[in-house]
Amino acid sequence: MEISSLKELFEHELRDLYSAEQQILKALPKMVKAARSRQLREAMSAHLAVTEKQAARLDRIFERRGIKLARAKKCKGMEGLLEEGEELMQEEISDDVVDAALIASAQRVEHYEIAAYGTARSFAEWLEDDESVKLLQQSLDEESDADRKLSELAESSVNRNAAEEEEEERTPVSRKRR
Amino acid sequence: MEISSLKELFEHELRDLYSAEQQILKALPKMVKAARSRQLREAMSAHLAVTEKQAARLDRIFERRGIKLARAKKCKGMEGLLEEGEELMQEEISDDVVDAALIASAQRVEHYEIAAYGTARSFAEWLEDDESVKLLQQSLDEESDADRKLSELAESSVNRNAAEEEEEERTPVSRKRR
């Protein structure tokens, strides 16, 4: 593939994002299934709907710019992030920390998208493609929002539960030491 | 591997970050070499020194928590991100957009670290390990700072150069249309 202009680099970024979104659409339902708390399941299910909208926005950009998806390559970055998350879930991971582990994986995914949508929006600005800027900014805002919500969820309940379990486990050990 | 507590999940996160930093230490010199502008080369070289410090901070945390690195697994997420960056560099990419492409890759790497250091710091807080919180927060701040600097560099010069090149290329096309 030849990338000889900012326009072509922008198109490369868009195809990469499209592949990333498609991979997320496949992975998210498994993450929802693995989550223990109702709040996390709900947050992830809601993000699945958001991801579908984001993929549709990319479709609109492809259409208006006349980009063909035939040349789409699998996004290796997202592939690695999701593999890492799956690997973690395959460990013998106890119920108390599953949600904390899922949030850790999900935030890596969100941050990939924050970086990639930020880059694509910046390219669209330089190319003076206002409609694409608007669409990409919407997805970027949603990703930042999703990341913030996951942090709040982790702070408010998930890590607290995991830490309390920790505390309970620690008690018998210190008793033994006495 | 068994992960049955927040403490073990925290250690898993630290090992993952350590592997990520080691991979970045290998990849960054290649990115410095590929960069066209002096400012980007300087920014990436400076980040190489920062990365070494961050790896040393992780060493300190391992030491104080008595974590053995023998069980360290290769961080798949970072592996994918760096592979994606290398793949992009292997395309026939013109000089005018190389730096924009490098920044796009580097910001994905920074955002992985922002997510991972954020998670690790949050776990350390719940485990009331104040010294680790301090060390992880330092690295997190450095990563956010590096990401911001790359955005500024992209906005101030790199994308401008690429877009100007675009403009020059567009002119003969519109002439043809007349």
Q: What is the DSSP string of chain A?
A: -EE-SHHHHHHHHHHHHHHHHHHHHHHHHHHHHH--SHHHHHHHHHHHHHHHHHHHHHHHHHHHHT--GGGPPP-HHHHHHHHHHHHHHHSEE-HHHHHHHHHHHHHHHHHHHHHHHHHHHHHHHHTT-HHHHHHHHHHHHHHHHHHHHHHHHIIIIIHHHHHHHHHHHHHHHHHHH-
Q: What is the pLDDT of residue A171?
A: 53
Please give the Cα distance from A21 to A117 (Å, whole number).
Answer: 11
Task: Tell me how many degrees the CA angle B29-A81-B34 measures, rounded to the nearest 5.
Answer: 20
Would you state the structure tokens that stand for residue B94, as one six-digit string? 């013109």
Least CB–CB distance from A159: residue in B4, B73, B123: B123
> B107-157: per-residue pLDDT in tens?
999 999 999 999 999 999 999 999 999 999 999 999 999 999 999 999 887
Residues of B in contact with A126 (CB under 8 A): 159-160, 162-163, 166
- A136 touches B: beta carbon within 8 Å: no
Chain A interface, best mutation among B98, B108, B149, by max A CB count within 10 A: B108
Please give the Cα distance from A50 to A71 (Å, whole number).
Answer: 25
Please give the Cα distance from A119 to A125 (Å, whole number).
Answer: 10
Q: Do A118 and B151 touch (CB under 8 A)?
A: yes
Q: Which residue of chain A has the CA closest to B107?
A: A115
Chain B interface, best mutation among A111, A129, A144, by max B CB count within 10 A: A111
> A37-74: per-residue pLDDT in tens?
999 999 999 999 999 999 999 999 999 999 988 666 89
Mean pLDDT of chain A: 90
Could you report the predicted ipTM of this complex, rounded to two decimals? 0.90
